[in-house]
Amino acid sequence: MVHGLVNKVGIEKDRLVNNGLIAMYCKFQDVANARRVFNTMVDRGVVSWNTLIDGLFQSGALAEAFEMFQEMLRTLRPDIVTVTIALRASCQMKDTRRGRSIHGYLVRNGHECDAIVDNMLIHLYSNCGNLKACRRVFDQLANQGPASWNTLLIANFRRGCFGEGIRLFGLMRRSLIEPDSVTVVTLISACTQLADRAQGRLLHGYAIKTGVVRNNFVGNALIDMYSKCGGLEDALREFEEMDKRDVVSWNSAISGCFVGGNFSQGLEIFRRMNAEGVPPDTTTMLTVLPACSFLAAKRLGKSVHSSILRTTTELDLPVGNALIEMYSKCGSLGHSVRVFDSMRTKDVVTWTALVSAYGMHGLGKQALKAFMDMEVAGIPPDHVTFVAVIYACSHSGLVEEGFSLFNRMEKDYKTTPKIEHYACAVDLLSRSGKLPEAESFILGMPLEPDVGIWGALLSSCRNNNETKIAERAAKRIMGLRSDNTGYYVLVSNLYASAGKWNLVGDIRGSIKSRGLRKDPGYSWIEVGRRMRVFGAGHSVEGSREAYQFLEKLTVLMEEEGYVPDRKLVLHDVEEDEKRQALCGHSERLAIAFGLLNTKTGTSLQVMKNLRVCGDCHTAIKYISKITQRELLVRDANRFHLFKDGACSCGDRW
DNA sequence: CTAGGCAAAC
């Protein structure tokens, strides 16, 4: 309308008016009209060129923009604004070549000194990791301000040169330049990376003394530093003391809780954030959704999903990917597929999430189909995709299909198998009972087998009563002296079932003497909008009733033919574990609790942090038959759907 | 009438 008015009034030849029109169209990303105005102009000035070139950059027409820039150089002398625009674009594209040539142009043409341009130059060389060039530019500056020092420090820290960074900070203090809030933030984040809480605390004191604590960047960096250096309490104190929390403060506090495993605390802060009306951003979603996945908190995940739908028009790619994973880990494969179908752009992560979703739910054929569809869609699989698809085959007994994929990784996909892929292959063979094949495969593999490899073999031996191979695997595991106690438990269970109690004792002693602790097993279930946790160290009201109910149930199960496998129950590594054995493994307690506290016929969903043991797997099959309930159990690897006495995993648990 | 630096969360 205004553009039309310009013509009507007869000022369409005015340079300033036309510059204004170009700027306006650029702001609306309407490059075509901006160009049209530019082309009709008879007396273009530097501003006209600058405005259009920047508009092209901002709308992503990079090649066109640089072309225009070259044309401008042939037409008239650029000013410092032109230089800034071109330099920023080169920085963003990490195009050092172009940046260098602009740098050279600046030197040759003797442009006025400009602190911001100087800083962009340091940043340019920092981007390509050229610390020497950074230092050279810095040393030649007419005046080194705080920002130049900061950029130089950051360049060093980003390259991991902490010693040099700290040395430079020493030089900065001896110069007359006072550190500012950016300096403090930079140093705090270096402490975070170095996990140096003591140094971070000193900087906290310094920030208070100089008053920069009130800067949100500083406060947020402190939250991050404390929570990642094992000081969640300090982190949350800082969070509570801030007077104007922004979305990053909230996100930092929430993720700070999650990294240490404090899920309920983190979710409580997320609830407060919503209650206070702070709009969550993409980062909030990418922090909360994985926590929902871990906890299988479907209700919360769904509410996050609906708030995403309410606030955004198009689903962000990483958020969509996180939603697929969330739904599959919450047991809602259907929702995963629906989110997948709704996504307009899909990347390798999207497809891998789908493959892994099918795999977790025991649908190997569907996982393979997704893998092939991915190829048709022109998205090449990566390392993670192969883990997902081979695991999917492994859990569905598709040995040949899985193995042929493993063999084709190198040949057809130019992806060199890593140790985790060899572990998948071992799992594939041994899970279907091909134990001698699995063992010779390990002995012939080109990489040094690690505990994961031998562990995959050993855990399958136990299911197949294959003691000879099991003992060899056990010896290897003990020889590798891993810090992961899960493997020692496997070995200990093997010796216990063979009655070799002295060896069991040895393992227990070695775990203790090395200061390791066994991961306690626990299970959880959501009943009546509340999560209940069962297992050592968790006492829940109602667990006594659950235990009593379980006893009655066991009688019925035995009438149906259930024979408890005492071997598997009674010889665990720690005392609390024995107690747990006596009152039933945590997943059984959680199921019993769910049965008691829900209406007849409703299906239950139970989560466990470790793998379900063989005896529980058998027991739950009986429970599903006797009570005529569908029991969906998520263990560390996958879902088991127990229904009328059978499990969806086909006993490849 | 045009442009711009260094810093925190996934």
Tokens of A611: 């793998």
Is any atom of strand B within 7 angstroms of residue A336's beta carbon? no
Confidence of residue A499 (pLDDT cuts 50, 70, 90): confident
Tokens of A362: 């025991």
How far apart, in whole angstroms, are the C-alpha atoms of residue A457 and residue A422? Answer: 11
Q: What percent of chain A has pLDDT over 70?
A: 97
Domain A418-518 has CATH 3.30.70: no
Give the CA-to-C1' distance from A58 to B1 in angstroms: 18
Question: In angstroms, what CA-CA distances link A627 with A303, A445, A603, A617, A618?
Answer: 32, 47, 10, 16, 15
Give the CA-to-C1' distance from A121 to B5 in angstroms: 9
How far apart, in whole angstroms, are the C-alpha atoms of residue A267 and residue A185? Answer: 27
Is any atom of strand B within 7 angstroms of residue A227's beta carbon? no
Region A194-207: mean pLDDT is 95
Q: Residue A573: its pLDDT value, please?
A: 45
Residue with tokens 């270096």: A190
- Which range is least confidently modeled, A97-111, A141-155, A381-395, A404-418? A97-111
Region A289-318: mean pLDDT is 92
Q: Residue A567: its pLDDT value, please?
A: 57
Q: Which of the nucleotides lies closest to A85 (Cα–C1')? A: B3
Confidence of residue A612 (pLDDT cuts 50, 70, 90): confident
Give the CA-to-C1' distance from A403 to B4 in angstroms: 56
CA torsion sign for A322, A325, A328, A329 is negative
Region A376-396: mean pLDDT is 94
A 175-194: CB within 7 Å of strand B: 181-182, 185-186, 189, 192
Question: Residue A396 is which amino acid?
Answer: S
Give the CA-to-C1' distance from A250 to B8 in angstroms: 11
DSSP code, position A178: P
Q: Where are the beta strands (DSSP E) in A460-560?
A: 522-527, 530-535
Residue with tokens 């996945």: A293
Q: Residue A131: its pLDDT value, please?
A: 92
Question: Which residues make Cβ contacts (< 8 Å) with residue A56, sequence separation at least 6?
Answer: A31, A62, A64, A65, A68
Is any atom of strand B within 7 angstroms of residue A19's beta carbon? yes
Tokens of A95: 């195009």
Q: Residue A579: its pLDDT value, please?
A: 47
Is any atom of strand B within 7 angstroms of residue A20's beta carbon? yes
**Listed residue (A42, A118, A44, A52) closest to A80, CA to CA:** A118
A543 close to A534: Cβ distance less than 8 angstroms:
yes
pLDDT tens sequence across A49-72: 999 999 999 998 888 999 999 999
Q: How far is C-alpha A601 from the geometric centre of its chain's CA atoms?
A: 37
Question: Which residues make Cβ contacts (< 8 Å) with residue A494, sequence separation at least 6?
Answer: A458, A461, A462, A467, A470, A471, A474
- Which range is least confidently modeled, A97-101, A284-288, A503-507, A578-582? A578-582
Q: Residue A570: its pLDDT value, please?
A: 47
A318 close to A290: Cβ distance less than 8 angstroms:
no
Region A20-35: mean pLDDT is 95
Find the farthest-apart pair of alpha carbons in chain A and give their distance in angstroms, rounded: 101
Instruction: Concatenate the DSSP letters of all residues of A263-309 into one string.
Output: HHHHHHHHHHHHHTTPPP-HHHHHHHHHHHHHHT-HHHHHHHHHHHH
Q: Residue A175: its pLDDT value, please?
A: 92
Is any atom of strand B within 7 angstroms of residue A235's beta carbon? no
Q: How far is C-alpha A582 from the geometric centre of its chain's CA atoms?
A: 38
Q: Residue A614: its pLDDT value, please?
A: 82
Q: Where in chain A is the domain with CATH 1.25.40?
A: 418-518
Region A530-554: mean pLDDT is 84
Region A75-99: mean pLDDT is 90
Q: How many residues in total does chain A contain?
A: 653
Q: Which of the nucleotides lies closest to A55 (Cα–C1')? A: B2
Is any atom of strand B within 7 angstroms of residue A90's beta carbon? no
pLDDT tens sequence across A402-432: 999 999 999 999 999 999 999 999 999 998 8
Q: Residue A577: its pLDDT value, please?
A: 52
Q: What is the mean pLDDT of chain A?
A: 90
Is any atom of strand B within 7 angstroms of residue A260's beta carbon? no
